[in-house]
Amino acid sequence: MQRLNQLDDQLEAMLAVEGDIDSDRLQQLLQQRDELLQQLMAQPECLDKTEWQAAVERTSCLLARIRHHRDMSAGQLQRLQHGQRSMQAYNKFR
């Protein structure tokens, strides 16, 4: 569980920053977290119920932050594409 806490701290720190995120590093950390969760779930007798509940809550918070960043990136992409279409239309009439 200690390793899971460390991974969650790293993810929280990465997602706390507004703006661009290193998507490769984020994917790597999420993959490590998934593998660790699979290992922990394989041995349910070793899990403390309160620690596991805290991990579930952290998972929900991390997912919410990831969704927030995804939505922000989608909005930026949409604005960029709109700007590009406007420039193309403008250049047609030049």
CA distance to 15, 69, 81, per residue, from 63 (Å): 10, 10, 27
Work out the number of other CB atoms within 10 angstroms of the CB of residue 47. 14
pLDDT score for 24: 92
In the chain, domain spans: 2-92
pLDDT score for 27: 94
pLDDT averaged per 10 residues in sequence order, the chain, 94 residues: 92 86 91 92 85 92 92 90 89 83
Please state the pTM of the whole predicted model: 0.75
What one-character DSSP code corresponds to residue 72?
Answer: H
pLDDT score for 3: 92
Copy the structure tokens of residue 86: 């406007």
What one-character DSSP code corresponds to residue 19?
Answer: S
pLDDT score for 67: 93
CB 32 within 8 A of CB 7: yes
pLDDT score for 45: 82
